[in-house]
Amino acid sequence: MTRIANKIINKENLLSQGVTLLMQQGYHGTGLKEILDAVQIPKGSFYNYFGSKENFAAEVIQHYINPFIDQLNGHLEAPGNNTLSALLCYFNELITELEKADFKGGCLLGNLMGEIGDTSELCKESLQFAVNRYRDLLQAGLLKAQQEGTVRVDKSAEEMADLLVNMWQGALLRMKIEQSSIPLKQCCENLLGDFFKAK
């Protein structure tokens, strides 16, 4: 295996471990030594990849959101379902995954928004970028659903996508304290199953 391939694997391992540790312990609760020990990479290599813990967290945020973007895209591009049904399928899949995980973790974006969203400019920008990527994809799906006639057209797709992201994040926080998927189900039923639907 080449040095470049090794470097890519090491960086991927660090980012994946970063997602796990930041989800479990938060930014301030996760030490650099812990990350390095988990992946067995020397401190010097870490600084070659990222430069600082703050840069690392900013990259972890993008690494975290990528699978959600891919998963949502997969539902939106799957043949057969209309787009509103695809969105419902996607969110139901997320709810099932969270139930299987016993509601642990929630959403890394929401967790970090609360912890360092107003103290680290770099991480704030990374969080905004991640949320906007996700929102934009939901917006594209809702726009397509409007064209299909299943979603109301008196509200813009952008406005509805923002509302969905905001309510989902709030529902995830309530899920954590209530140890229940009811807030998530209410969010989906009230928005995708009612408020967004074309009458």
What secondary structure does DSSP assign to 109-150, as a single string? HHHHHHHHTTT-HHHHHHHHHHHHHHHHHHHHHHHHHHHHTS
Angle at the Cα of 176 from the Cα atoms of 175 and 180, rounded to 5 degrees: 40
Angle at the Cα of 86 from the Cα atoms of 81 and 88, rounded to 5 degrees: 130
Structural domain range at position 176: 53-195
Does any domain span residue 4? no
Cβ neighbours of 42 (radius 10 Å) = 9
Q: What is the pTM of this model?
A: 0.92
Does any domain span residue 6? no
Does any domain span residue 140? yes
Region 91-110: mean pLDDT is 94
Does any domain span residue 171? yes
Each residue's pLDDT tens digit, 131-172: 999 999 999 999 999 999 999 999 999 999 999 999 999 999
Is 70 exceeded by the pLDDT of residue 128? yes
Does any domain span residue 10? no
Amino acid identity at 13: N
At 104, the pLDDT band (50, 70, 90 cuts) reads confident
Each residue's pLDDT tens digit, 39-98: 888 888 889 899 999 999 999 999 999 999 999 999 999 988 899 999 999 999 999 999
Buried b (16+ CB within 10 A) or exposed e, 59-93: bbbebbbeebeeebeebbeeeeeebbebbbebbee
Does any domain span residue 122? yes
CATH of the domain at 90: 1.10.357.10
User: By C-alpha distance, which of 33, 36, 29, 27 is closest to 55?
Assistant: 27
Does any domain span residue 1? no
Does any domain span residue 23? no
Structural domains in the chain (count) = 1
Give the Cα separation of 176 and 130 in Å (integer): 21
User: Cα torsion at 68, 133, 188, 104 (round to 10°)?
Assistant: 50
